[in-house]
Amino acid sequence: MNQATIVDSHCHLDFPDFDAERPAVIQRALDAGVERMVTICTRLRLEPQVRAIAEQFDPVYYAAGTHPMSAAEEPLTTVDELVTLSKHPKFVGIGETGLDYHYTSDSAEIQKQSLRIHIAAARDTGLPLIIHARAADDDMARILRDEYANGAYNCVMHCFSSSAELAKAALDLGFYLSMSGIAAFPKSKDLRNIFAQAPIDRILVETDSPYLAPPPHRGQRNEPAYTAHTAKVGAETFGLDYDEFAALTTANFDRLFWKAKA
């Protein structure tokens, strides 16, 4: 597809959507120039099977946490539990965690509690925090700032599709914004403008597969190979050629996800 290599910084390879053909999905990613993938565990009781995928496939790394939409249904994790998990050589990030008030605003308080635990683990381990934020911009910005004042940590706003204000709050703390297939949708011009205002050295790319497939696969199951389509739109957004954008975002990934560095 393209010569330059890129990284899918966020996917869900453990989801049943991939059960029938996981090796083929990973091979297609490699064929498309996606040299590494981070598969994300969203419920800690499933961590062993997510870890097994990372152990089985050389290009795959993993992260684990409690997704905010699951925070009320899952046992509250502890900093110690996350720190213990992080000792695995292919465990490269804390999360995904965050706040989601779109469908699950009734669990806002437990989401905030869970988020602060994950932040503390990111601070303790030096691993990046992986944030999911939806319909919770004000609380999200406030907690990120308050916790940073308690001690530095690093972070990526995964699948960023929130406001310019939350983007600025994250960037001001030195955090990263990740472009998903949403940024490649034709109607996402305002979102692309937010990305275009950000420093290029704070941008990652991802699929969030099996969700949010970019054009020309929109409406189908997403997979890591399609990171290349989002990266193409990302290059256009920043006025760069594909190879340059690929090299820069890969360097950003290596800086943030230092345990997964090639």
For residue 91 the two structure tokens come to 């465990």
118 annotated as a binding-site residue = no
> 3-class DSSP state for residue 33?
coil
What number is the average pLDDT over the span 46-73?
Answer: 98
- Is pLDDT above 90 for 3? no
Torsion of CA 164, 169, 173, 178, to 10 degrees: -40
229 annotated as a binding-site residue = no
- pLDDT tens digits, residue range 153-172? 999 999 999 999 999 999 99
Confidence of residue 44 (pLDDT cuts 50, 70, 90): very high
State residue 262's pLDDT score: 72
* CB neighbourhood size of 84 (10 A): 12
88 annotated as a binding-site residue = no
132 annotated as a binding-site residue = yes
State residue 250's pLDDT score: 98
Share of the chain above pLDDT 70, in %: 99
- pLDDT tens digits, residue range 112-143? 999 999 999 999 999 999 999 999 999 999 99
12 annotated as a binding-site residue = yes
- Is pLDDT above 50 for 144? yes
The alpha carbon of 13 is separated from its chain's Cα centroid by a whole number of angstroms, namely 13
Length of the chain: 262
Residue 87 forms beta bridges with which residues? none
| Backbone φ and ψ of 237, nearest 5° | -60, -35
| Backbone φ and ψ of 195, nearest 5° | -60, -45
> 3-class DSSP state for residue 179?
strand
> Where do the domains of the chain lie, and which CATH numbers do they carry?
6-260 (3.20.20.140)
